[in-house]
């Protein structure tokens, strides 16, 4: 063994290996010192730390690691992110790096039951939800991946529907009692699929936007209360429209059109006349006058 504190000891040899596993050539202490000085940002063991060790054996190995490509520490928190589109999942997963998994919800994870009584105004607009086989499969993938995860990031779209999907997913996980006390759940949003936007969103998480969810619930309730009642009537009166539905917007617009058409059909035309005169003042100025009163009564 040769003392590290001796600057003249040129016989000590360091076998350096890179993160890729390739073993670098043997370097003398002086050459290694100069190499480490130039490569300080990339070295996982610095010269100062090596000096503090005191003794370094001839066969000791020092590992160099680039901070840009080194994997997270063994104690890093595991993250599961949920997005809507599977096309986005793989790209975003590359941005997040090791220790992160990204799954897709494939849109909504549940919807109103397609039968009368799914929205009950008399019960403070209580709603009954159900999931299709595809939605149940997506939820199973999420619940399976949730095991052993430390952080759950709900990264559905930033619009009203995306906020509702995150809310629904959270409620369903609560019902299944899968939200552990040590699970950190956050809502993150980004408007572009770039590494900068995604990582910035992860740094600035928030909670579910309840007013946006309430707006979704109101829209969904109106869709159901109008559509479920009127769609059947629409299909009976117009068999060719069986593939269509009467929603909250179409229904109101149709009513306005119908009421206006009824007013047009009920209108009874009556003849009338107007009396106008070109009048000349004493000064020779002219103006147009209309007859509006006769014997104290208003015309028209």
In this predicted structure, what is the pLDDT of residue 8? 36
| Residue with token string 């949730």 | 146
Question: Once rounded to an integer, what is the mean pLDDT over residues 293-298?
Answer: 86
Give the model confidence (pLDDT) of 215-250 as tens digits. 999 999 988 888 777 888 888 888 887 777 777 777
Residue 300 — pLDDT band, cuts 50, 70, 90? low
- String of DSSP letters for 253-283: HHHHHHHHHHHHHH---------EEEEE-TT
Backbone phi and psi for residue 289, each to the nearest 5 degrees, phi listed first: -120, 145
Per-range mean pLDDT, top range of 57-61, 63-67, 137-141:
137-141
Tell me the pLDDT band of 61, cut-offs 50, 70 and 90: very low
pLDDT (average), residues 181-207: 95
pTM above 0.75, yes or no: no
Tabulate helix, strand, coil % of the chain (nearest 5): 40, 20, 40
Higher-confidence residue of 20 and 193: namely: 193
Whole-number pLDDT of residue 279: 93
Q: Which pLDDT band, with edges at 50, 70 and 90, does 272 fall under?
A: confident
Largest CA distance in the chain: 130
Instruction: Compute the distance between CA of residue 99 and CA of residue 214 in angstroms, rounded to an integer.
Output: 34
Q: What is the DSSP letter of 295?
A: T
pLDDT at 98 over 50: yes
Predicted local confidence at residue 4, as pLDDT: 37
Please check whether residue 277 is in contact with residue 271, taking contact to mean a CB–CB distance below 8 angstroms: no
Query: pLDDT over 90 for what percent of the chain?
Result: 53
Place 3 in a pLDDT band, splitting at 50, 70 and 90: very low
- Once rounded to an integer, what is the mean pLDDT over residues 118-147? 94
Strands (E), the chain: 2-3, 13-17, 27-28, 55-56, 61-63, 79-83, 100-104, 111-112, 119-120, 126-127, 129-130, 151-154, 184-187, 276-280, 286-290, 293-294, 297-298
In terms of pLDDT, which residue wins out, 58 or 248? 248
pLDDT at residue 214, rounded to an integer = 96
Across the range 37-56, mean pLDDT stands at: 32
> Is the pLDDT score of 59 beyond 70?
no
Q: What is the pLDDT of residue 261?
A: 96
| Token couple for 112 | 């109103």
Mean pLDDT, range 39-61, rounded to an integer: 32
Q: What is the pLDDT of residue 33?
A: 38
């Amino acid at each position: 063994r040769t003392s590290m504190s001796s600057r003249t000891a040129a016989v000590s040899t360091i076998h350096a290996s890179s993160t890729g596993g390739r073993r670098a050539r043997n370097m003398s202490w002086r050459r290694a010192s100069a190499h480490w000085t130039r490569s300080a940002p990339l070295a996982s063991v610095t010269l100062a730390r090596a000096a503090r060790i005191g003794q370094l054996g001839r066969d000791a190995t020092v590992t160099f690691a680039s901070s840009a490509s080194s994997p997270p520490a063994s104690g890093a928190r595991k993250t599961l992110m949920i997005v809507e589109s599977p096309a986005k999942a793989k790209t975003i997963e590359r941005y997040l790096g090791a220790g992160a998994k990204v799954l897709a919800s494939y849109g909504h994870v549940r919807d109103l039951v397609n039968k009368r009584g799914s929205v009950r105004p008399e019960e403070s607009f209580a709603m009954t939800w159900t999931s299709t086989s595809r939605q149940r499969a997506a939820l199973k993938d999420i619940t399976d991946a949730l095991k052993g995860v430390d952080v759950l990031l709900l990264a559905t779209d930033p619009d009203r529907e995306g906020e509702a999907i995150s809310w629904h997913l959270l409620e369903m996980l609560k019902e299944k009692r899968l939200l552990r006390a040590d699970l950190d759940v956050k809502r993150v949003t980004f408007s572009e699929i770039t590494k900068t936007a995604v990582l910035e969103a992860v740094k600035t998480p928030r909670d579910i936007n309840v007013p946006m969810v309430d707006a979704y619930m109101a829209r969904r309730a109106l869709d159901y209360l109008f559509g479920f009642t009127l769609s059947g009537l629409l299909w009976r009166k117009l068999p060719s429209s069986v593939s269509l539905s009467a929603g909250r917007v179409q229904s109101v617009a149709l009513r306005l059109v119908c009421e206006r058409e009824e007013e047009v059909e009920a209108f009874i035309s009556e003849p009338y006349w107007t009396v106008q005169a070109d009048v000349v003042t004493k000064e020779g100025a002219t103006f147009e006058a209309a007859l509006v009163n006769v014997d104290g009564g208003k015309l028209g």
